[in-house]
Amino acid sequence: MSAVRLKGLTLRYGGVDVAAVDNLSLEIGDGELLALLGPSGCGKTTTLRLVAGFLDPEAGEIWVGDRCLSAPGNVVPPERRRMAMIFQSYALWPHLTVAQNVGYGLRFKRDLARADREKRIAEMLRVVQLAGYEARYPGELSGGQQQRVAVARALVVEPEILLLDEPLSNLDANLREEMRFEIRRLHEAFGITTLYVTHDQAEAMVISDRIAVLQAGRVAQVGTPDALFERPRTRFVAEFIGKTNVVDGVAAAPDVVEHGGVRLTVAGARFTPGAGVALSVRPHQIDLVEPPGAPAPNVFAATVRRSSFLGDSLDYEVTITGSDLVLRVVGPATRRLAPGQVVGLRIDPSACVPLDGA
């Protein structure tokens, strides 16, 4: 296994001015599972295909350990990269059995005896919990089982790098959740350096050691799932990772932001008074309390505009009294507030996260 380094990767399609991947630099640690997360068109699949060797970069380099695999005019072909890829469509051979699909890549290992090949296939099917399915064909399997076959086929060849391109997007919600934990379990068992492409934030947060959020072909922010959720740096990352309230205002003091008469104290802030500031406040970090009887820092009266029952919680939209500031708040399902009801909101100063590019 080796670390993967992407240095200034750039690729444009058809000579257009907008780059699919734009001077992108990133490092995936040895044995790390890093997710490329972002909306459609952000460059995540193009980046993965550059790493796989399916595309040639216009600029930049791809290194695995001390080997340069891609540079303009010098690209190592995919079959010589010691990588395995799992596709969104599974790409299983319909006329081959499960065992034959899993062992397909082992055919090219000339130094591997047949008995050893069969032993490795059987062991891999046991690992992905498909022992006993050797003689079945893909058309006789569920979607989740087909995905397990694709995973087993990729792992059985013992790749140096594992690449996954939205492998769970064709599964239903329950299977997706099950396979998230399964892929994480397999990663912990094998420790293969892995690059995982997805547009599903929950999937990325469950599976990954770190996440690189892509925006317009560039890395907007990279970090652990909890760091990205708790301390997003930009509006894009804050709104893409989970749900949030973005409050646009002006610094009224070094640690106070004002929006239409609403003043929010921000822990540890050092704003320049008069400067524009954007804050991220997560809905679950706003406490519902009794309406305040007297002014207090970060405590406000508000009116419920709507409520939505989510099973284990209630999702509210509220307007702070005397302003146009509308916030989303999550409350317990045990107490339901009706539209028009006046409530109190309390926001801890540490829950107000300043964002770059206000």
pLDDT digits (tens, 9 = 90+) for 167-200: 888 888 888 888 899 899 989 999 999 999 999 9
Residue 312 structure tokens = 């284990």
Domain ranges of the chain: 4-239, 243-355
Question: What's the pLDDT score for residue 239?
Answer: 93
Measured in degrees and rounded to the nearest 5, phi and psi for residue 276 equal: -70, 140
pLDDT range class, residue 16, cuts 50, 70, 90? low
Among residues 228, 277, 247, which one has the least CA distance to residue 345?
Answer: 247
Q: Characterize 41-63 residue by residue with b for buried, 16 or more Cβ atoms within 10 angstroms of its Cβ, and e for exposed.
A: ebbbbbbbbbbbbebebebbbbb
Give yes or no for residue 294 having a pLDDT over 80. Answer: no
Among residues 81, 121, 127, 68, which one has the least CA distance to residue 99?
Answer: 121
Give yes or no for residue 358 having a pLDDT over 60. Answer: no
pLDDT in tens, 47-76: 999 999 999 999 999 999 999 999 998 999
Identity of residue 317: E
CATH topology of domain 243-355: OB fold (Dihydrolipoamide Acetyltransferase, E2P) (2.40.50)
Q: What proportion of the chain, given as a percentage, has pLDDT over 70?
A: 99
The mean of the pLDDT values for the chain is 92
pLDDT range class, residue 267, cuts 50, 70, 90? very high
Question: What's the pLDDT score for residue 173?
Answer: 83
pLDDT in tens, 234-244: 999 999 999 99
- Is residue 256 within 8 A of residue 229, CB to CB? The reply is no
Residue 8 structure tokens = 């200034």
Question: What's the pLDDT score for residue 89?
Answer: 82
Measured in degrees and rounded to the nearest 5, phi and psi for residue 114 equal: -60, -40
Give yes or no for residue 125 having a pLDDT over 90. Answer: yes
CA distance 212 to 209: 10
Question: What's the pLDDT score for residue 333?
Answer: 84
> How many alpha carbons lie under 13 Å from residue 19 in its C-beta half-sphere?
16
Question: What's the pLDDT score for residue 1?
Answer: 55
Q: What is the mean pLDDT of residues 307-334?
A: 93
Measured in degrees and rounded to the nearest 5, phi and psi for residue 179 equal: -75, -25
pLDDT range class, residue 106, cuts 50, 70, 90? confident
- Is residue 357 within 8 A of residue 300, CB to CB? The reply is no
Q: What is the mean pLDDT of residues 282-290?
A: 94
Say how many residues make up the chain: 358
Q: Characterize 105-132 residue by residue with b for buried, 16 or more Cβ atoms within 10 angstroms of its Cβ, and e for exposed.
A: bbeeeeeeeeeeeeebbeebbebbebee
pTM of the model: 0.90
CA distance 327 to 317: 6
Question: What's the pLDDT score for residue 90?
Answer: 80
pLDDT range class, residue 15, cuts 50, 70, 90? low
pLDDT range class, residue 13, cuts 50, 70, 90? confident
pLDDT in tens, 204-232: 999 999 999 999 999 999 999 999 999 99
CA 8 to chain centre: 21
Among residues 323, 314, 318, which one has the least CA distance to residue 343?
Answer: 318
Q: Is 212 exposed, middle or buried (0-12, 13-18, 19+ CB in 10 A)?
A: buried
Per-residue three-class SS string for 98-156: HHHHHCHHHHHCCCCCHHHHHHHHHHHHHHCCCCCCCCCCHHHCCHHHHHHHHHHHHHH
CATH number of 4-239: 3.40.50.300
